[in-house]
Structure 1
Amino acid sequence: MTSIENILFEHGPIMSSELSNRLHLKESIPLNTASQKVSRDRNIKKIKGFYTSNQSFCFLEQHEQNGLFYDRFIKSLFDNGKKYWYCINALRLHGGMLHKDFLECYTNYPVLALKGHLPFNKVLQKFIEQGILVYNSPYYSIAPKFSLQRNSSVANRTIEMIKNDTITSFHSLVKNIGLISFNTGKHFAEYGKYRWSFKGVSAVTGLFQNGSPGFLLADILLGTSIYKDDVSFFIEKLKSIQSFANAPRIMPFLIVDDLDKEALGLLKQKGVVIGFIKELFGQKYAETLKELVSILTNAGASLKKSPDKYLDLIKQLKKYNEGLVNNIRGTLFEYMVGHIHSINCQSIDLGREIIENNARHEMDVLAIYNDRIVIAECKAIKSKIDIDVIDKWINIKIPAFKIWFDKQETFKKKQLEFEFWSTSGFTKTALDRLEKFSNSVQKYKVVYKQAEDMRQIARDMDNKKLKEELDNFFLKTDV
């Protein structure tokens, strides 16, 4: 092992400047010579192109399996490459994965050409080329090699649905009270070459300038703790557009469910209107949303600790926002199936993603029992499940899940079971295919559940709340 490798082995991932300085002291050689040796060393790994003074982030291959690697990397960007840090921080805040529309909003990279600034697409491409990010259209995610505690894709998608719904409600509010002109509100709109979650033309007195109206601009952060540094992307976007010659006047909003005191103080100092959800739409609604996000981001623990909690939230959400609860019906149905399994299984997971057969696959529900593993597919749609969906499940998903299962040493003595749950049932051809397939397989078990099966399960569980929501929400045909 070389001196450079020894330093990295002892101190972990560090910047090339620090590595050179340590080598300079260790070997009593000129600093320039030490820098050249670090630069030319092919035995260590480096992340380049993001740092001031042409520095690089240096590490050993073994560091990639350590959680320290991710923490050191994000700190290296904050200290030495702040403009690139915004992207990684946005992903970190949102469980490691974000829809392209939201990531464009949460970074201060222009989406159109702007002199002196790297555009969003070029910045993101640099991350992808170095294996830091993965793009699976339309989502960007932090590469698996970074040991990061991640939200499930179910939680991420549902939180994004909640944010989209909140933006829609905010749109209605500012239009109805006259903060924006009628029919000018746009979601995920470009303004000043940057992306914003919401934009509207405002004719409010005080925003007019040289006979032209101003603009209301808004972004939304929800479902995560927000600190001072986390709101800097918004302030930097505002600073950039306000520096333009003859820039229109603006009214900036940041919509949040919670905020650290320092972040609140900074936003107020910069003249940003903080739109707390509890103030915009009511305390009870805000609390319900917060609880919903919490159980989704900690689904396994929540199901074991308070398995019925989601049933209470469904009832509350119906009072405040029936449209939203219907939009996330699919997620809540997966949670319901997880609830049923959680009563007797050892552990439960929702939205587990795997990569097999050169493709990404998602397990709606993964239930681990003492003697078996259950992987459930869940569909809560109005129409009956057709043969095409069943063929994809049988020919693509099940083989991928079987390969994954066979690789798990801890599952060696467990039976594998696949389930398909459908609130609307199956077409005759789909049902025939399921019956034939179920009867033909021997190495694992295949079962399917329809409305009456679910009602019987609820009766056997003697769970009054579950029986009510099955009939009034999950199995109701007019939602």
Structure 2
Amino acid sequence: MPNEIQTLLQNFGPGLTTDLIGVLVKNGLTSAAARKRIQRAESEYSRMAGLRFEKNARFIYLNEQYGSRQFWDKFELACYGAGKSYWGAITVLKAKGGVVAVADFPRVAGTPTARKGQLSPARILDRLKAVNVLEEFDEGERAYVRYRPFFLGIENMPVSVANEIAEGVALEGIKDWARRIGLGSYGKFAIRGGVQPPQVAGITWDLTAPSYVRPLVSVSQQGARPGFLVCDISLFGSIERPEAEAFLRKCDLAAAPASMPPIMPMFVGHVFSTEALELLKSKGILAITLRNLFGDELAQALRDLVIMLTDMGARASVDPDHLLRVMNSLTQIEGGSSNLRGALFELVIGSLVKDVEGGYLKTGDRRQDLASGRKAEIDVQLDRGDDGGVLVIECKAKNPNARVSESDIRRWYGDRVPLIYSILTNGGSYKEKQFRFELWSNGDFAASGLKWLSEQPLAMDGYTVGWRDGKGLKRYADQAKNSSLRTMLNDYYFHSALRRVVSDPSL
């Protein structure tokens, strides 16, 4: 027969010990007696080990309740009421699709890296991992963290990565806009992924800059002291009230130290819910949509970029003319083209080989090897029919003067090719087909890498290998029937190299 505490947990669900004490007090016990009763019944319930809340409360539950929807809802409610640092990290992570790069988690957590009385992002991550709320995993060459309950985030992985790319392009535009109108010191902007981390008051943001806008400046005998512009961006979906509340908490933490100069917070998204917008504006936050910042064309181009990078159907049959329009729009953003070249190179190459050779195309396909459990992303895969076999291309987009290194070449030949071949042939429909693996780049290959590659066997049992550098790719592109493909490659991947040839006839 269940005891009183078990009955309470069955009726009210999992919760904090302080909440149960409150129920018992309402039923006539004193606080001390209620606390003792919960302690005496501890063998009848479980608790989240290692996770303490305000007033030393613990989150307790019956074993059969663990992992249910009610369990996680009650856990988040407990965090909201008595563990805001945990709640903020979970809320922002879920708002971004449930998965972010580990390197970006401090920005998601929104707490100071080192401040007395506050949990650091590293401590939050460790504690939430310890209780199976968050977990780390590797995808390609990067480490990610995801919200574990119900595996939220696994299916959103491509969308989250695509939004990260789109946010990077948008941040370049925000930086250019803010420094042109004088919101921050022109040469002192810090942006995520840059050399200097964008931190203010020990808290990580997407963009920061010292600001000499008059309301932010304080003057003393030592001279003028600037305030700071701080900005976060969220493009996964509509910004709802919980995400807005988490941003406000982050701003309050940044403004808390007495010695901290004023900050001007800005939150950028595609769209805000009415409730979120009203809350942010009531607290003096600049809540700005991409359409407000950049106009309809650029805002739509950023949406289209995410769609092209995530929807497998659209990616497999992407319209080269539409792709060119998106690139032309987004490269109006100063600094945006360098982010786009790598992100869209495989789409351009996939569209190119389909245009030239026909067949069935896949790009950016993430697969797992059944034999080893290892994962790989297949940049371009073209099934050319029974007679033509399968062409698999690894794409390396390079900035002017950059080369595909010998280490990249060795890794492709010795690791990626055998892994992808295993993925496509183990138990799959491609088992009897002939494979051709090629490494393509718009730039040059390191001479030492080409020398090493020329010394390796190029024909193996079941597949052959080859490569195309920028010159070879240009010759191949001349066969394209669609002029937009040639225009994209010439303007965004070959243009600098062509200018060098014109300026130096000896090349």
Q: Calculate the TM-score normalised by the size of structure 1.
A: 0.75
List runs of 5+ in structure 1 lacking aligned partners: 4-10, 22-29, 41-45
Matches within 5 A, 1:184-195: 184-187=188-191, 188-195=197-204
Paired with 1:461 and 1:180, the residues of 2 have a C-alpha distance of: 46
Paired with 1:249 and 1:384, the residues of 2 have a C-alpha distance of: 45
Please state how far the C-alpha of 1:463 moved relative to its aligned partner. 1.5
Please state how far the C-alpha of 1:332 moved relative to its aligned partner. 1.3
Paired with 1:37 and 1:402, the residues of 2 have a C-alpha distance of: 53
- Give the structure 2 partner of residue 24 of structure 1: none
- Cα 1:384–1:199 change in 2 (3 A) is closer
- Cα 1:16–1:248 change in 2 (3 A) is closer
- Give the structure 2 partner of residue 197 of structure 1: 206
Residues 342-370 of structure 1 deviation map (CA, whole Å, 9 limit, x = unaligned): 67555624162658868764433355677
Q: Determine if contact 2:361/2:383 at 8 Å carries over to the other structure.
A: yes
Q: How many residues align?
A: 443
Q: Which residue of 368, 380, 391 maps to 1:365?
A: 380
- Give the structure 1 partner of residue 266 of structure 2: 253
Q: Determine if contact 1:208/1:214 at 8 Å carries over to the other structure.
A: yes
- Give the structure 1 partner of residue 397 of structure 2: 380
Paired with 1:134 and 1:408, the residues of 2 have a C-alpha distance of: 29
- Give the structure 2 partner of residue 352 of structure 1: 366
- Give the structure 2 partner of residue 440 of structure 1: 459
Please state how far the C-alpha of 1:441 moved relative to its aligned partner. 0.3
Q: Determine if contact 2:404/2:443 at 8 Å carries over to the other structure.
A: yes
Q: Percent identity?
A: 22
Please state how far the C-alpha of 1:422 moved relative to its aligned partner. 2.0
Paired with 2:103 and 2:93, the residues of 1 have a C-alpha distance of: 13
Q: Determine if contact 1:51/1:77 at 8 Å carries over to the other structure.
A: no
- Cα 1:126–1:181 change in 2 (3 A) is same
Matches within 5 A, 1:39-438: 39=46, 49=51, 53-55=57-59, 75-82=73-80, 83=84, 84-100=86-102, 102-115=104-117, 117-130=118-131, 132-134=134-136, 139-142=143-146, 146=151, 148-151=153-156, 159-181=163-185, 183-187=187-191, 188-208=197-217, 211=220, 213-245=226-258, 248-298=261-311, 300-304=312-316, 306-308=318-320, 309-318=322-331, 320-321=332-333, 323-340=335-352, 348-350=362-364, 352=366, 354=368, 361-366=376-381, 374-381=391-398, 382=400, 383-405=402-424, 407-409=426-428, 412=431, 415-426=434-445, 430-431=449-450, 433-434=452-453, 437=456
- Cα 1:325–1:261 change in 2 (3 A) is same
Please state how far the C-alpha of 1:229 moved relative to its aligned partner. 1.4
Paired with 1:210 and 1:432, the residues of 2 have a C-alpha distance of: 63
Please state how far the C-alpha of 1:268 moved relative to its aligned partner. 0.7
Residue identity opposite 2:153 in structure 1? L
Paired with 1:98 and 1:230, the residues of 2 have a C-alpha distance of: 15
Residue identity opposite 1:122 in structure 2? R
Please state how far the C-alpha of 1:47 moved relative to its aligned partner. 8.2
Please state how far the C-alpha of 1:464 moved relative to its aligned partner. 1.9
Paired with 1:377 and 1:57, the residues of 2 have a C-alpha distance of: 50
Please state how far the C-alpha of 1:454 moved relative to its aligned partner. 4.3
- Cα 1:189–1:465 change in 2 (3 A) is closer
Residue identity opposite 2:379 in structure 1? D
- Secondary structure at the residue paired with 1:400? helix
- Secondary structure at the residue paired with 1:225? coil
Paired with 2:255 and 2:89, the residues of 1 have a C-alpha distance of: 22
Q: Determine if contact 1:91/1:141 at 8 Å carries over to the other structure.
A: no
- Give the structure 2 partner of residue 474 of structure 1: 493
- Cα 1:474–1:415 change in 2 (3 A) is same
Q: Determine if contact 1:207/1:214 at 8 Å carries over to the other structure.
A: yes
Residue identity opposite 1:312 in structure 2? R
Q: Determine if contact 1:350/1:365 at 8 Å carries over to the other structure.
A: yes
Paired with 2:377 and 2:52, the residues of 1 have a C-alpha distance of: 33
- Cα 1:31–1:313 change in 2 (3 A) is same
Larger Rg: 2
Please state how far the C-alpha of 1:397 moved relative to its aligned partner. 2.0
Q: Determine if contact 1:370/1:414 at 8 Å carries over to the other structure.
A: no
Q: Calculate the TM-score normalised by the size of structure 2.
A: 0.71
Residue identity opposite 2:79 in structure 1? G
- Cα 1:370–1:128 change in 2 (3 A) is farther
Q: Determine if contact 2:424/2:430 at 8 Å carries over to the other structure.
A: yes
Stretch deviating more after TM superposition (391-400 or 188-197):
188-197
Paired with 1:478 and 1:322, the residues of 2 have a C-alpha distance of: 20
Residue identity opposite 2:93 in structure 1? L
Paired with 2:251 and 2:466, the residues of 1 have a C-alpha distance of: 55
Paired with 2:337 and 2:188, the residues of 1 have a C-alpha distance of: 27
Q: Determine if contact 2:92/2:246 at 8 Å carries over to the other structure.
A: no
Paired with 2:435 and 2:410, the residues of 1 have a C-alpha distance of: 19
Paired with 1:460 and 1:210, the residues of 2 have a C-alpha distance of: 65
Root-mean-square deviation (CA, aligned residues, Å) is: 4.3
Please state how far the C-alpha of 1:465 moved relative to its aligned partner. 1.3
- Give the structure 2 partner of residue 465 of structure 1: 484
Please state how far the C-alpha of 1:334 moved relative to its aligned partner. 1.0
Paired with 2:88 and 2:361, the residues of 1 have a C-alpha distance of: 35
- Secondary structure at the residue paired with 2:419? helix
Paired with 1:147 and 1:243, the residues of 2 have a C-alpha distance of: 33
- Cα 1:196–1:461 change in 2 (3 A) is closer
Q: Determine if contact 2:15/2:78 at 8 Å carries over to the other structure.
A: no
Paired with 1:213 and 1:151, the residues of 2 have a C-alpha distance of: 40
Please state how far the C-alpha of 1:147 moved relative to its aligned partner. 5.1
